[in-house]
Structure 1
Amino acid sequence: MSHSDRNPAPREPRGTRRRRRDPWHLLVDPVQDPSTRQRVFGDLLLAYPGRLTIIYFVVLIVVATGALTLPVSSRSPGSTDLLTAFYTAVSALSTCGIPIVNSTEHWSMFGQGIILLSVQLGGLGVMTFASLVMMVATRHLRASQRLRTANELGAAKLSEVRDVLKVVFVTTFVIEAITFVALFPGLLGVNRGDLGRTAWEALFYAVSAYNNTGFTPDAAGLHVNNLAIGLPILLSAFCGTLGFPVLLNLARAIRGRIAPRRWQLHTKLTLVTTGVLVLCSLLWFVAVEWNNDAMFADADMATRVRAALSAAVMPRSAGFDLSWVPDVSEPTKVFMSALMFIGGGSSSTAGGIRVTTLAVLFLTCRAAFTGHTDVVAFRRRIPTRVVMMSLSITLVFVVLTFAAALALMFITGMPLTDVLFESCSALSLGGYSMGVANADDPASLLVLALLMIAGRIGPTSVVYAIGRPGASETVRYPEESIIVG
């Protein structure tokens, strides 16, 4: 027997090894130097992105609600009631934007500033934590896929959280700055040379448009008949629905003159699916609502096309210009509900099941109907894990939408098309309303607020908050087929 066998090393106390792997206790260790804490914080973000997402939004909701209840936040004497402040804070932080009070008449400049800051923090938080969840998910892929995804996120290594955060912040502020500059001349003309009001409205519209939130600084809505204002807002909102990974990939492709066939699969699927949805929406509004005076009050052809284009792009997430929505036909309400349910791109400020999820569902159906076992797009095989997550997300959204719609029917007594529209708008952060959200009906506001919180956090973050998906299965049971369909 060797000396090491006769004198074994002392065993570590129970739980010591787990504590060493857990980065939480290192953050509060006073002897840790700043560089170590920074590294530990990055490890913490990658280890618990779902939990931090929930904590982040709960803290912001409490702070924003408290700020909006202050007397200085409202124009009228006294403070805003707690439910209205809570609902408005949730609507802003979730980047949904369904209002229950007139933003111009009710909220003071301070209150509008709180709403604007909430929209910005909500949008940044969504993209940041969504990218962190994506980084965690890629740890379970092959090395080549990890490197490809890390490159798309702007990080040389998957642990470089700072690089990802930098990409998110730079992308957001650059697009918002461009939108601000583009809006300034048009708004200056509308405000008749008032520089202060013009600067505030340009800033508010720039932040609200890119973050796909329906809040506006005035009662004018989108200014759809004024191209100098409507077009920058429309383009900014469209960029916000794509997601920063797509925008980053496109910027690199343009700079490096990379052919479209060499773009990331995520970028291809997002652009193709988004293009199809926008085209279908445009054709729908032109064909079905062409004689609707609420949408096309002016018979001028150019005005009709601009209004149809705005209606085709905005309902998926932005929620600007609410005046015409209650007057659309019943089939259009259902169609718009479907658009909001789909939403925008992944890692974007938009909500919904996301366009890539829809694409994966259609590709899975194609593979099943043609007798293939692999789900393929652009000569690339989509992992089974992604297919399962797409099916799970869609089912969760379907259950939540119809459960909320039934609850709202009991509470308000409104017809199915209206409550289904409102449920899709709240859960998918569309920002449009049929009048179900009413300040005099607390129960309906609570249902819609919970839907917005669920839609903003998302099922993926909840999954990563509960457990660690992608862990290897220690036991695999025998396979047996069942009959479906």
Structure 2
Amino acid sequence: MPSRVPSARAVIRRVAGKPARVVASGFALAIAVGTILLMLPVASEEGTATGWVAALFTATSSICVTGLIVVDTPGHWSMFGELVILGLIQVGGFGIMTLASLLGLLVTRRLGLRMQRSAATETKTFGIGAVRRVVLGVLTISLVVEALTALALTARLVAGYGEPLGRASYLGVFHAVSAFNNAGFALYSDSLVGFATDPWICLPIVVAFMLGGLGFPVLFELGRHARRQQHRWSLHLRITLGAYAALVVVGVVAVIGIEWNNPATLGQYEAPGRLLAGFFQGVTPRTAGFNTVDVGAMQPASLLVTDVLMFIGGGSAGTAGGIKVTTFALLGFVMLAEARGEPHVHVLGRKLPREVHRQALTVVLAGVGLVLVATLALLLLSSFKLDAVLFEATSAFGTVGLSTGITGELSRPGQLILVVLMFVGRIGPITVASALALRERGKRYDLPEERPIVG
């Protein structure tokens, strides 16, 4: 009796039907492989085996494109170790964008059928062709942006800093990949503090991590329909661009305003340098993870603003982490409609389905709960103050990589908490949102309604 081979469409639906299990297993396997490679003596500068906690932490931070470190990247790791980290970053970023885009595509198609869209949309199949287009699109965008950024950085390092071409090319490629994937790993012990006033280094990196943070669906739609009138852009595109831009402005204005006269951060530079460093530090909480000022010397108000921005993160189906700017914006529209007493939520000329309200609320509350529990645990396991511990936990959950400098000083249990936080923070929002949407189903009955007191 011949064996039955499942079709590509059947396999895709079967895999996407259990997104949490599939995504978590894939990332866990990659982390395990990375940990083993980083524990090898050849991976360290001294030629000795690295402890399993440091290797596990670095592998998780790399594959989850976070950037938090417990050992100095250029000082501890050999070129082999750095290349392992670079490979993990690339695999993690590409996998995140691809998986999130595929899950989003599946969710859109399934919900589209349920909402009885046009017959043309309903009859489209989710098969191997759609998968190929998504994968090739993500790969093309990633390689093009990374290549252009690497060229710009290499040219500047050669012309402005006298680096040999080979070394400059290596540094350019490493930081370009790290930037586009919002990883935040740098081959300088002080991250990018040494380039704080150099726009030829800072701005290409900013462009790269902002493009990666917007998400593949946004970049793909902008590439195909850049000339289309804005009122014909998709709702997701308009919300993402609007919320992303607003948060960038808030972050930049807050950092520049608070840190302008702080001699340990922006105050040490002339006005043009302050503006550039403040701009960079205001946009890097979009989960980029690079820093051009000493984060540990920032004012508590700046740290709190950065906490909020890191928690929100970047665009969906991109390399940025957090709860995503779309989730944050949608909750804002829900609150506005409730304040106005409107029975439905309307966003930019569209009605928002009620299930989206619940999904957004679930993602946000789950994130808040996770960060609070981790912060409490870290406070009990360390002697650091609340603002530093909260900053560390939020950075790990949002897969940002910014730190006040306490990561390496945490105890082993504390570092393992951050490992779990990075892992869950990376796969959590993607899998929770898609799983909730894919499990949406109707009931043939309802229960009697009773209204409790709220507030």
Q: Is TM (by shorter chain) over 0.5?
A: yes
C-alpha distance in 2 between matches for 1:430 and 1:369: 33
Give the match for residue 449 of structure 1: 419
1:318 has 2:283 as partner: no
What are structure 1's unaligned runs of at least 5 residues? 1-28
Counterpart Cα distance in 2 of 1:146 and 1:135? 16
Q: Alignment partner for residue 158 of structure 1, among 113, 122, 126?
A: 126
Q: Structure 1 pair 459/356, CA: closer, same or farther in 2 (3 Å)?
A: closer
| Amino acid across the alignment from 1:168 | V
- Corresponding position of 1:26: none
In the aligned structure 2, how far is the partner of 1:191 from the partner of 1:56?
A: 41
Tell me if the contact between 1:206 and 1:233 (Cα under 8 Å) persists in the aligned partners.
yes
For 2:64, give the aligned amino acid.
S
TM-aligned CA distance change 1:424 to 1:30, over 3 Å: farther
Aligned: 1:235 with 2:211: no
Matches of 1:390 and 1:76 in 2, distance apart? 48
Q: In structure 2, how many angstroms separate the alpha carbons of the residues matched to 1:167 and 1:392? A: 30
The 1:394–1:278 alpha-carbon spacing in structure 2 relative to 1, beyond 3 Å, is: same
Q: Which residue of 1 aligns with 2:28?
A: 58
Looking at structure 1, the residues matched to 117 and 76 of structure 2 have their Cα atoms a distance apart, in angstroms, of 50
Aligned-pair identity in percent equals 36
> Match for residue 221 of structure 2?
249
Q: Residue 302 and residue 156 in structure 1: after superposition, are their counterparts in 2 closer, same or farther (change >3 A)?
A: farther
Using the alignment, how far apart are the partners of 1:398 and 1:369 within structure 2?
23
**Residues 310-319 or 470-479, more deviating:** 470-479
For 1:75 and 1:68, the matched residues in 2 are separated by 11
Contact preservation (8 Å) 2:154, 2:165: no
Amino acid in the other structure paired with 1:333: L
Paired residues of 2:60 and 2:423 also in contact (CA < 8 A): yes
Which of 57, 61, 83 is 1:87 aligned to? 57
Normalising by structure 1, report the TM-score: 0.87
1:181-220 to structure 2, matched below 5 A, reads 181-219=151-189
> How far apart in 2 are the matches of 1:77 and 1:196?
23
Is residue 114 of structure 1 aligned with residue 84 of structure 2?
A: yes
Change in Cα spacing, 1:353 to 1:459, as seen in structure 2 (3 Å) is closer
> Does 2:351 align with 1:368?
no
CA distance in structure 2 between the aligned counterparts of 1:470 and 1:173, rounded to whole angstroms: 36
Query: What per-residue deviation string (whole Å, max 9, x for no partner) do you get for residues 270-317 of structure 1?
Result: 111111111111111221110012222544221111011101100220
Determine the C-alpha separation between the residues in 2 that align with 1:199 and 1:340.
Answer: 31
When residues 142 and 479 of structure 1 are mapped into structure 2, their CA distance, relative to the original with a 3 A threshold, is farther
Asked if 1 retains the 8 angstrom alpha-carbon contact of 2:44 and 2:77, the reply is: yes
Instruction: Tell me by how many angstroms 1:139 deviates.
Output: 3.7
Find the residue that maps to 2:346 and give its secondary structure: strand
Question: Secondary structure of 2:408's match?
Answer: coil
Q: How many residues align?
A: 449
**Aligned pair 1:357/2:327, yes or no?**
yes
The CA distance in 2 between the partners of 1:178 and 1:156, in whole Å, is: 36
Aligned AA (1:245): P
- Paired amino acid for 1:239: L
1:373-401 Cα distance to aligned partner (Å, 9 max, x none): 21111111111111111100110011111
Rounded Cα–Cα distance in structure 1 between residues aligned with 2:317 and 2:437: 21
Q: Residue 208 of structure 2 aligns to which amino acid in structure 1?
A: S
CA contact (8 A) 1:47 1:136 kept: no
- Residue aligned with 2:57, SS: helix
Contact 1:185 / 1:228 at 8 angstroms: preserved in 2? Answer: no
Verify the 8 A CA contact 2:9 2:126 in the aligned structure 1: no
Structure 1 position 40, deviation (Å): 4.6
- Corresponding residue number in structure 1 for 2:196: 224
Q: What is the identity, as a one-letter code, of the residue corresponding to 1:129?
A: L
Find out whether 1:469 has 2:439 as its counterpart.
Answer: yes
Would you say 1:339 and 2:315 are equivalent positions? no
CA distance in 1 between counterparts of 2:430 and 2:214 reads 18
Q: AA paired with 1:312? A: G
Mean Cα deviation higher: 298-307 or 239-248: 298-307
1:49 to partner: Cα distance: 3.0
Following TM superposition, by how much is the alpha carbon of 1:44 offset from its aligned partner in structure 2, in angstroms?
Answer: 3.6
Which residue matches 2:260? 290
| Conservation of the 8 A alpha-carbon contact between 2:107 and 2:438 | no
Query: In the alignment, is the contact (CA less than 8 A) between 1:51 and 1:462 conserved in 2?
Result: no
Structure 1 pair 467–367 and aligned structure 2 pair: CA distance change class (3 A): closer
Does the C-alpha gap of structure 1 residues 190 and 32 become closer, same or farther in structure 2, counting only changes over 3 Å?
farther
Q: Deviations over 1:318-368 (max 9, x none)?
A: 111265100011111111111101111111111111111110111001100
Unaligned runs of 5+ in 2: none
- How many Å separate the matches in 2 of 1:454 and 1:285? 29
Matched residues in 2 for 1:476 and 1:381: separation?
A: 24
Q: Tell whether the 8 Å contact from 1:273 to 1:359 is kept in structure 2 after alignment.
A: yes
1:429-482 per-position Cα deviation (integer Å, ceiling 9, x unaligned): 111112331256101101111100010111441576699511233443232222
The alignment status of 1:481 with 2:451, answered yes or no, reads yes
Hey, what does 2:382 align to over in structure 1? Answer: 412
Structure 2: distance between partners of 1:243 and 1:90: 21
